[in-house]
Structure 1
Amino acid sequence: MSSESIAFLDLPDERTLVGYGPFHTTNLVPKSGAAFYRNDFGLTSTEPWWIPERWEVLPRGSVTGILGEVPSPLACAWEAPDASEFATVFQEISAAIRAGAFEKTVPVVVERGQLEELPAQTLLSWASTCEAPLFAYGFTDGESGFAGSSPERLFSVSGSVLKTMALAGTARAEERDVLAVDEKEIREHEYVAQSIVAKLSDIGNVRRSPRGIMELRSIVHFHTPIEVELSGYESPDSLVKRLHPTPALGPLPRTRETMDQLISWRRRLGTPEGFGAPFGAILDGEFHAIVAIRGLWWSGTELILPAGCGVIEASRLVNEWRELRLKREAVKARFGF
C-alpha cells in the first residue's frame, strides 16, 4: 500500500487512534500494540486486521493537526439517486416480508457526486472534527478511501465488559416528541434491541438500559445502551460475527439466505461494500468497533454517499424515501456540502 495511507478511529475514552501506512494485513488478532479491523458488509475478508507501520494515540479532535487545518468545503456536482430503482427493491422487500421471509431488512440508496480534486485530506479532516456521541473514522490509501462520523457503536470490550447499543428509529430533530410515540419507529427499534440482547444472552449477564433518544443536530434516533458482563474470553473476531450486522443495518432473521438477498439488493443499488460494515481498532488488548455509516466513500474524484432505511411491514415507500434524504442531508452538512 502507499506510504500515504492513514487510518483513524475515535475511541470511547476521548482519544483517537491514528495509524500510518504502509499497512500489512493478517488473520490473527494482534496480541499487543495497535491494529485496525477492516472488513466488508458480508465479512468476507480473510485478513481483516490491518497493522500500521507506526501509530499514535491523540486527544480526540487532534487529527486535523496531522492533516492540516480543516480546508474549505469541496465543490461537488451531485447526481440525485434514482427513485424508481429504490421503489422496485422496496416492493420486492415488502413482498418478502408478507411471505414471511423477513421481519425487517435495510436497503441502501446511494447519491453520487463528481469532485474537481482528490478529496482525502479534506474529507478526513471534516470527519475528524465531530463531537460525541459521534465517532470519527476514516481510511485512505491516497487515491481512494472513506470517512465518516458514526453514531453507532457495534461494540467495545474492555476486560470482561462488553458495551453495545441498539440504534434505530429516525426523525427530524423538530419531530422529537412525535418520534417518542411513533409506533412504527418504536417497533423497528424493539426489533433491533431484542435481537441484540438475544444474541448476547448465552455469553454473559446482559443489562439493557431504558430506551432513550440520541440527538444529532438535525436528526434524532431511538437509542438503547446494552452492557454484558462476559462469562469468559470472547475474541473480537467471534464477537463481530455474532453481532454484525444487527437488524439496524441487516436482516431479521439473520440467516445465510437473508444476508445473501440483502447483499444482492445492496449491490443492485450501488452500495459500497464497506458501508454498514464494522470498522474497529484494537489497542493493548481493548477492542472498539463502530458501524461505518454516516460517511462518504471515494475513488479518485468520484464520491459516493450511501444511506439506509429499516423496512418492516408497516413501512411506506414515501416515508422511507424521505428518511433516506434526511440522512444524506445530515452527512452533507457534516462535510460542508
Structure 2
Amino acid sequence: MSSLSGEAAVQGPVVSRSCRVADVSYRAFLASRDAPRIHWADPDGVEVSGVGATAVVTAAGGDRFDAVREWADALFADADHDGPEVARPRALGGFAFFDDHEAGGTWAGFPAAQFVVPEFQLASAGDETWLTVTRAGDDATAEGVEAALEDARETVESLPAMVPGGDRPGVRETTPTPGKAAWCDQVRDALARIEDGSLRKVVLATALRADLNAPVEPRNLLERLRQRYSECFRFLVEPTSDAAFLGATPERLATLSGDTVRTTALAGSVERGESVAEDARLAELLRESDKLRHEQELVTDTIAERLDALGDVTVGERGVRKLSNIQHLETPISATVTDDTHVLDVVERLHPTPAVNGLPADAALDTIRETETFDRGWYAAPVGWFDADGDGTFGVGLRSAVAAGETVTMFGGNGIVADSDPEAEWEEVQLKYRPILDELE
C-alpha cells in the first residue's frame, strides 16, 4: 500500500531555460527565497541549490519509490530544456528510513518521501555557475520561462559571492536518547538475539539533542561542514522555514550515470590519530580487526548481491577512508545496468544497506523498531537528486542533524555483531556526533 500526494496534478510539459551567471554564494541564493530550500554538493565538485517549487511530490508506503518514479516519468515527459548538462532541472529530496514514517515532532515537515523540482536552481561545476528557471503545466511556455530567467538573473547577480559564516551559536547542554546505560542494555539485548541465531548484525542508533545559546542558521552550519568535510556529500533539505535536515555524509548510496552504477560499502570505524604514526597504527588496527573486517564484508557482500539483479557487478579493493575525525573501511562497487534503469530502482534495492540496518534485513528492521526509543526520520536514509533521464546521485543521511531554532538534534549509530562490547560501541558512536557538534560549540 502506498500513497502519493502533492503537486501530482502538475503535469504537461516541463520547460526550463538556463544561463551562465557570475559566481554567487549558495547561502545568499538560498536565503533570497522562502522555503522550500535544498542544497546538494558532492566530492566530485558538483553543487546544486534549489529554491521555490515548480512541482512537489510526497509519498508513503511500501511502493513509495515506484510512486515517486511514476510521478517523475509523467512530469518530465517531453521536457524542454536548452542548457548544458550541469544546469539540467533536477528533483531533489529524499526518503525516511521507514516507509510508514509520519511527519511530526523533530521531523515535522518531513514525510516518508518528498522531492521538489525547484523553480530556481543554481548549479556549479568547476569554474562555471548556471542559473535555471523551470516551470511546468499547460501554462508553461518557453517565452514565459525566458522572461522569468532574465528577471532571476538580475536578482542572482546582485547577490554577494561571499557571505560571512557567522559565530557558532554555542551549546548550553546536550541530552542523549537513550542514555548510556539504556543504550548498553539495548546492545546486550541485540547480542542475545545474535547469539540465539535470529540476527547476524544490527545497527542501533542514538539521538543527541543540543540546546544552544542562540538560534542556529542551518546554511551557516552547512558552510562550516563544507570547509571541514569537502570530501563528503553535503546536503540541506528545508521543506519549511521551521526546520532543516542537513549533514556531511561520507557514504555514497548510489550514483547512476548512463548505464553505470557506482556505490560504496562503508563500515567499521576507528578514530584518527594525533600524529602521523598514531594515525597509521590505528588504520592498521582497522585493517586487521576481525570484528571490523567481518562487519564490512557483510555490507560489501549484501550490496553486491542486491546489485546483481540489475546487472554485472564489479567489487573493488578494500581500503581505508580517512575523514578529519574518523576513518572507515571502504570497498568501491560498480555495476553495468540496462538503459531503462532509473536511479530510484537502484536506491530501492539498496536501502537500507547492512551498514545502517543489519542482517538478515527483516530481522534487523524488526529489532530496530522494537529497540530504538526515538524516531529515525530521514536519518540513515537516501537523500539526493535525479533528473529527467533517471540519472542521479544519492547519499546515506549520516553525520546528520535536524536544526530548528535553538535546538539541533544529531544522530549516530553503530553496527552490533557477535563480539561487540557495549561500552566500546557507545564510545564509538560519540565520534559520529563530532562533525556537527564541533561546528556548534
TM-score (ref. length: structure 2): 0.70
Distance 2:162 2:377 in 1: 26
Question: Which residue is 1:69 aligned to?
Answer: 164
Cα distance 1:24–1:263, how it changes in 2: closer, same or farther (>3 A)? farther
Question: Could you say if the C-alpha distance between residues 300 and 73 of structure 1 is closer, same or farther in structure 2, counting changes exceeding 3 Å?
Answer: closer
Name the counterpart of 1:55: 121
**Is contact 1:170–1:185 with CA below 8 Å preserved after alignment?**
yes
Distance 2:315 2:226 in 1: 30
CA 213–186 in structure 1, closer or farther in 2 if over 3 Å, else same: same
Tell me, yes or no, if the aligned pair for 2:358 and 2:415 is still in contact at 8 Å. no
Which of residues 225, 234, 240 is equivalent to 1:127?
225
User: Could you tell me which residue of structure 2 aligns to residue 178 of structure 1?
Assistant: 285
- 1:41 aligned counterpart, secondary structure: coil
* TM-score computed with the length of structure 1 as normaliser: 0.90
Name the residue aligned to 1:204.
Answer: 311
Taking a change above 3 Å as real, the CA distance of residues 109 and 25 of structure 1, as seen in their structure-2 partners, is: same
| Equivalent position SS for 1:245 | coil
**Partner residue of 1:288?**
393
> 1:104 and 2:201 equivalent?
yes
Q: Is the 8 A contact 2:233 2:249 kept in 1?
A: yes
Letter of the 2:90 partner, please give it. A
Equivalent residue number for residue 413 of structure 2: 308
Residue 148 of structure 1, CA deviation: 1.0
Q: 2-side partners of 1:303 and 1:132: how far apart?
A: 22
Whether the aligned pair in 1 keeps the contact of 2:203 and 2:357 (CA below 8 Å) is yes
Q: Tell me by how many angstroms 1:97 deviates.
A: 1.2
Separation of aligned partners in 2, 1:289 and 1:242? 13
Write the distance in 1 (CA, Å) between the matches of 2:39 and 2:125: 12
Q: Which residue of 2 aligns with 1:317?
A: 422
The alignment's C-alpha RMSD in Å is 2.5
Structure 1 residue 8 corresponds to structure 2 residue 39: yes
Query: Partner residue of 1:36?
Result: 92
Q: Provide, for residues 256-287 of structure 1, a one-character-per-residue CA deviation record: whole Å limited to 9, x for no partner.
A: x5323313433x1x244111011011245321
Asked which structure has the greater RCO (Cα within 8 Å, sep 6+), the reply is 1
Separation in 1 of the partners of 2:230 and 2:211? 30
Partner of 1:237 in structure 2?
344
Which segment is superposed worse, 125-134 or 83-92? 125-134
Distance between the aligned counterparts of 1:271 and 1:60, measured in 2?
39
Deviation of 1:322 (Å) = 1.1
Unaligned ranges ≥5, structure 1: none
- Which range is displaced more, 236-245 or 162-171? 236-245
Report what 1:142 is aligned to.
Answer: 241
Contact 1:120 1:143 in 2 (8 A): no
What is aligned with 2:210?
113
Describe the SS at the equivalent of 1:180: helix
Distance (whole Å) between structure 2 residues aligned to residue 297 and residue 66 of structure 1: 27
8 Å CA contact 1:103–1:313 kept in 2: the answer is: yes
Question: Which string of whole-angstrom CA distances, capped at 9 and with x for unpartnered residues, describes residues 214-242 of structure 1?
Answer: 01022100010001011442223322221
Question: Which protein is bigger by CA-based radius of gyration?
Answer: 2
Amino acid paired to 2:164: E
Q: Distance in 2 between matches of 1:65 and 1:40?
A: 34
Contact kept, 8 Å, 1:276 with 1:292, in 2: the verdict is yes
State the identity as a percent.
22
**3-state secondary structure, aligned to 1:97:** helix
Matched, 1:273 2:394: no
CA change 1:322–1:231 in 2 (3 A) is same
Q: How many residues align?
A: 332
The answer as to whether partners of 2:253 and 2:396 remain within 8 angstroms in 1 is yes
SS at match of 1:105: strand
Measure, in 2, the Cα distance between the counterparts of 1:162 and 1:106. 25
Q: Which residue number corresponds to residue 368 of structure 2?
A: 262
Moved more, 136-145 or 183-192: 136-145
2:296 maps to 1:189:
yes
Q: Distance in 1 between matches of 2:35 and 2:126?
A: 22
Counterpart of 2:352 in structure 1: which amino acid?
P
1:79 equivalent in alignment to 2:174:
yes
User: Relative to structure 2, which stretch is displaced further, 188-197 or 106-115?
Assistant: 106-115
